[in-house]
Chain A
């Protein structure tokens, strides 16, 4: 039988709130990490081969869409700051550039697909323009992804430490 003391009755809202924060942090941390690792693999075409490269790219597109949706408020906020203020916010324009280049990279990759789309029954005519756009935006994204991660390195280290210290069943 569960007979909680007055303090334990007062505890649940606090614990629930903390859990929610942790869940939100997890939701921020893992998809970003996944995007970084997946992009690293996808860029190494010689290692993955064309089929894995393309499927990984499509998966990246889906994760990017979800990630952007979850952080849409932040995207709007950053873009507004970009227009209004200077200082450190000037650096953050890189992030918006990253979103733009990654979106174009994935879209152009889908448009020049040789394996994934034909397997789904979709065939698009070859285009040298999109091939060129894909190459350029992929290189730009490769430069911007580590910069994006490095700009938030304090947060990454902090969260990684918390995850390393976290044990199931132990409230923090």
Chain B
């Protein structure tokens, strides 16, 4: 039932997007049929290309299947995607590292513990003296501050 409700919402959203596009096309005077009614003379380049096709200088595919000879097109698309993804991932990694103040997590404790001041758990008590996030609730509830002792693993500690 939920799926049907969501599907109808999606179809409605798509219909709105396409409808807006149609309106845009209509406003621009480029609605369906504009290509056939507003015929312009072909450009010089197009005519030249047509001549080359007729002369057999340029090979034309039937368009019905994969053209393994044209992998350059596919490779170019993959390269564009890979470059963009790499840029975003690198940016995200650099930003994350910067947010952590350039301190890498201690081995074996990847993203588990950091104190309020952004220092890693093992350093937090010794270096900045601040309590980790869980300390406040533990202290208020009357529980012992750190059962494992300062600078050691803190069960249930959360990233601020």
Contact = CB atoms under 8 A, between A and B. Distances in A.
> Main SS of chain A's interface residues?
helix
Contacts of B86: 150
Contacts of A117: none
Contacts of B143: none
Contact of A107 (B10, B14, B30, B32): B14
In this complex, which of A50, A107, A115, A150 has the most chain B Cβ atoms within 10 angstroms of its Cβ? A150
Interface string B74-95: 1011101110111111001000
Interface residues of A, number: 45
Contacts of B89: 150, 153
B73 A45 contact: yes
A47 B32 contact: no
Looking at chain B's contact residues, is the secondary structure mostly helix, strand, loop, or mixed?
helix
Given A50-B63, A142-B81, A147-B84, 4 more contacts: A51-B65, A103-B14, A143-B80, A147-B88
Contacts of B66: 47-49, 52
B7 A46 contact: no
A111 B142 CA distance: 69
Nearest to A61: B14
3 closest cross-chain pairs (CB), A and B: A129-B30, A46-B73, A150-B88
Interface of A: 36, 40-41, 43-52, 65, 68-70, 72-73, 100, 103-104, 107-108, 111, 115, 124-133, 142-143, 145-147, 149-151, 153
Contacts of B70: 44, 46-47
B141 interface: no
A91 B64 CA distance: 40
Contacts of A73: 6
Given A44-B77, A52-B66, A124-B32, A107 B21 contact: yes
A161 to B, nearest CB: 13
